[in-house]
Amino acid sequence: MGTLMFISGQEIVIIVIIVLLLFGADKMPDIVKTVGRGMREVRKATDDIKREFEESTQDLRNDLNDMADSVQKDVRDVTDNVRKDIEDAAKPIADEINDTAREINKGMK
């Protein structure tokens, strides 16, 4: 889609003069109405396109947020499971070390 050009006041005056010379003053109101109607239709079409784009990207953003939430939950679950497995595996080793330390302390007394 091309960019809309914005024209200055001087350019509008030049266009009006050319239209007056080509079509005459009696056709000017009809031409202005037609141009105004065309500009409204272009603006309406542009607004419709923007609205549709926003709606479609909103659905995409919602889907991406849902996916991100799901991935974060999965990562938390895996992390919690790994942490629990490590703690479960470390507990018997820690107990054995503590028991050995107690035995050594008893033998030293």
pLDDT in tens, 15-29: 888 888 888 888 888
Asked if residue 5 has pLDDT above 80, the reply is no
**103 in a structural domain:** yes
pLDDT score at 66: 95
Residue 3 domain-assigned (yes or no): no
Q: What's the gap between Cα 103 and its chain centre?
A: 63
Give the pLDDT of residue 2: 46
Tell me, yes or no, whether 19 lies in a domain. Answer: yes
Rounded distance between C-alpha atoms, residue 90 and residue 93, angstroms: 5
**Residue 87: inside a domain:** yes
Average pLDDT value for the chain: 87
| pLDDT tens figures, 39-81 | 899 999 999 999 999 988 998 899 999 999 999 999 999 999 9
Q: How many domains does the chain have?
A: 1
Domain that holds residue 45: 14-108
User: Looking at the domain assignment, is residue 91 inside a domain?
Assistant: yes
Q: Is 6 within the bounds of a domain?
A: no
What pLDDT shows up at residue 77? 96
Decide if 19 contacts 31 (C-beta within 8 A). yes
Answer whether residue 9 is part of any domain: no
